[in-house]
Amino acid sequence: MDFTLSEDQKMYIDTVRKFVKQEITPSILGLEKEHAFPAAIIEKIWDLGFMNLSLPAEARGFEMDTVSSALIIKELSYGDSGISTSAMCNDLANVVITMHGTQKQKEMFLWPFIEKPLISSFCLTEPDAGSDNSAMKTFIKKDSNGRYILNGEKCFITNASYAKQFTIFCKVGKPDSLIVACLVIPSGTIEKSKILKSSSGAREIVLPEGGTILTGKPEEKLGQLLSNTATVKFEDVVIDDEQIIGNRRLGFHYALDVLDYARPMVAAIGVGLAKRAFDITVAYTKERRQFGKRICDLPVARDTIVKMWKKLEFADMALMKAAWKVQEGAPDRGVYASLAKNAAAEAALYCTSEGLHLHGGYGFMAEYEIAKLSRDAHIIDIYEGTREVQDMIIGREIL
């Protein structure tokens, strides 16, 4: 492994850092108070070419490797982890098409994301199927005309209120089937649909081919307020064969492929958030004085800052190794993806919690960014698999 950055990677980092410094960090607390989806910022990220990172080279015009993707997401997350989560969600939804779709499916379902700033949603989690995805109940079944009909409900779906395309994992035949399929409701279908909106922010999407998609009221969350999250319900949605990705019996394996790719990206979000918490804490403790000294010069405070730095550096190294393993298709990529995800969550939680502590009473005030970061950090430990799930994966692999 050689982690020397290429000239392209250095350019990506420099460009994203300038963007974050100009467009996100100066106004982040004000944006969060508005609690509105940052569509304008998302579109600017698309303009820069830093969305849809998992699309194949023939769509983008150049190759974007996994390590470079992780570096870009880490820098975006330094500005705001909610914004980067919404931007990254397109890859969560679309990478399975890149990996397992036919050439025709790639052209139908991926090429539109190059042409305009579309938003996509990855629909896996259900009310009774969180970490245990085998417990999902959403399913497709053939009707009397031989068409597949989709019914079911998904929850905690990022970008659901704004999605123009949905990637869905579901059972085949019946809700308690052991067979899982992956399918896509494409942007072209959504754009032709009749979309009814309620005052709560929910949508009713009446599809031209038949059926309805209902997205619920956006969830009120503890953190990541700039990332949209809502439920999605599918009612008698007609699914053509060409909307089913790969083998309709291998959806569970495809979901694992997606999560192997996604976990380093979530780790990148966590590392970016932890780095922001570390930097603003160091800046504050250099400026704030107690007992006639800067806080950073007090031994107990310095010890805490050192521990923050160590957790941050370990998480960053774990991230890079995991991204490289995924990029190379290494057989043990899953275990390193889980390690990176856990290490980044631990760094994010520790750096924000201890950073808030070193801010003292000011850290508890909403006007200080460390309070926001502390709320944002908790989801890193949960989405794309809780720490316990990651430990199960690691334990299974090493034993």
- Provide the sign of the torsion angle of the four alpha carbons 80, 85, 90, 94, taken in this order: positive
| H or E segment to which residue 203 belongs | strand 203-206
| 126, 313, 384, 397: the active-site residue | 384
Pairing outcome for strands 293-294 and 289-290:
antiparallel
Rounding to the nearest 10 degrees, give the CA dihedral for residues 277, 222, 19, 5.
60
Measured in residues, the chain has a length of 399
369 is catalytic: no
Beta bridge partners of 165: 120
Helix, strand or coil for residue 306?
Answer: helix
Dist CA 316 CA 67 (whole Å): 12
Dist CA 79 CA 25 (whole Å): 5
**Residue 19, both tokens:** 């963007």
**Residue 185, both tokens:** 């409701």
Dist CA 79 CA 276 (whole Å): 8
Phi, psi of 391 (to 5 degrees): -65, -35
Annotate 255-266 with DSSP letters as a single string.
HHHHHHHHHHHH
**Residue 309, both tokens:** 């730095």
DSSP designation for 244: B
Q: Which of 94, 118, 87 is nearest to 187 (CA)?
A: 118
Query: Do 196 and 133 contact (CB within 8 A), yes or no?
Result: no
Dist CA 279 CA 264 (whole Å): 22
Query: Do 149 and 239 contact (CB within 8 A), yes or no?
Result: yes
Query: Which positions are catalytic?
Result: 384
